[in-house]
Structure 1
Amino acid sequence: MSNTYHVRLRKEQFTFCAAHFITFAGNICEPLHGHNYRVAAEIAGPLDENEYVVDFIAARDALIAITRTLDHRVILPTSHPTIHVTSADNEVTARFEDRRWVFPASDCVLLPVSNTTAELLAHHIGEQLLAALAEHGFRPTSLEVSVDECEGQEGVCRWDDLR
């Protein structure tokens, strides 16, 4: 019989407040609005020489750093088929059909996603977390990241068989 191990990180510090809008049902675009997002991660892997899966402090600090980059920003997709985002002269412009939004560039985070859904935010945060853990020499066997946008409404992304 073999054991598997994982750790869960869910802390108040893994939160960020951000504005966004998404499209759905083809051509419906929500109004700009915000959420108080909460992030959690489950990291699996074998026990190391210290008998733990991953250094809690390194994982915690990585998630705090990642969520801080999103905090108090407007999150915009750069790969959306009908929302067009451009940046020039310290401004970011987003266009959808006849709607147009202009923001100071310093207030925006442009993400390489096709829509700023909780699921794709979880994917983005997970990719950032994997890169940060790799810098510490750790590669989990699996990773699950969830982004809760509204008390019990979570988007989840899971990576399996990472080794």
Structure 2
Amino acid sequence: MALLAGRVRVRVSDTLRCRFTDFFNLSKISKEPGTLSDDKTRYGRIEIAKQAHNFSIGHFTIFSATERENLHGHNLQLVCEVTAPVGENGLLFDYGILKRLMQQMCDEIDEQVVLPTESPFLNIEELDGYIVAVFNGERLPFLPRDVTLLPLRNSSVEEFSWFFLNRIRAHPDLADQGIIELIVKVSSSPGQFGTARWISDEA
């Protein structure tokens, strides 16, 4: 795809950051990471922020019915934090499941133009073998192989973080791991994240 063929990747880090938080505070009975709940369950938090969990997209942010960005590209980074019980083996759970899912989600939309299907200002049509984005009287045609349609209101880091969070929550292999908090971050540049957070009713 011409838009992304000459892209420059953002160098986030050469180091795998896989941080485990585990601090005890026996005077406080709660489900904060590193503390004990009322049933004496020990909770911890794992953060997964691997350089490999990145993807390049073409997009334009929509600001109103008449204003949008020009089509351009971004290199985005996906980060996830989970809080769950620490088992007798000293581990939360097999978070390799989570890492593989994160990689899969990144790979699915890498080097794609992402169009949001739930924007009130954007219409998407199929015409003569093209996917056409219609905005404020403008028609932007794309080859289907270059486009991914996602149920977003905008192609923003705020919406991406919620989209990925819901994908992770729905994964069957993670449903019974006792996760009580899930935080997903999507970065469009170093130090700038869109964040979505889910907390279980049992927390």
Q: TM-score, normalised by structure 1?
A: 0.90
Equivalent residues, number: 162
- Give runs of aligned pairs for residues 63-142 of structure 1, distance below 5 A: 63-87=102-126, 90-132=129-171, 134-136=172-174, 137-142=176-181
Q: Tell me, in whole angstroms, the C-alpha distance in 2 between the residues paired with 1:89 and 1:41.
A: 40
Give 1:23 deviation, angstroms: 1.2
Structure scoring higher RCO (CA < 8 A, sep ≥ 6) equals: 1
Q: TM-score, normalised by structure 2?
A: 0.74
Give the match for residue 20 of structure 1.
59
Q: 1:66·1:129 contact (CA, 8 Å) conserved in 2?
A: no
Q: Tell me, in whole angstroms, the C-alpha distance in 1 between the residues paired with 2:88 and 2:130.
A: 50
Give 1:154 deviation, angstroms: 0.9
Q: Which protein has the larger Cα radius of gyration, Structure 1 or Structure 2?
A: 2
RMSD: 1.8
- 1:93-144 deviation line (CA, Å, top 9, x unaligned): 1110122111111211111111111010011111112222x33543521110
Runs of 5+ consecutive residues of structure 2 not aligned to the other structure: 1-25, 27-35, 37-41
Give 1:91 deviation, angstroms: 2.4
Q: 1:130·1:139 contact (CA, 8 Å) conserved in 2?
A: no
Residues 135, 86 of structure 1: alpha-carbon distance in 2 compared, 3 angstrom cutoff: farther
- Runs of 4+ aligned structure 1 residues displaced above 2 Å come to 48-51, 86-91, 134-139
Residues 51, 162 of structure 1: alpha-carbon distance in 2 compared, 3 angstrom cutoff: farther
Task: Describe the SS at the equivalent of 2:190.
Answer: coil
Q: Which structure: greater strand fraction?
A: 1
Q: Does 1:9 align with 2:48?
A: yes
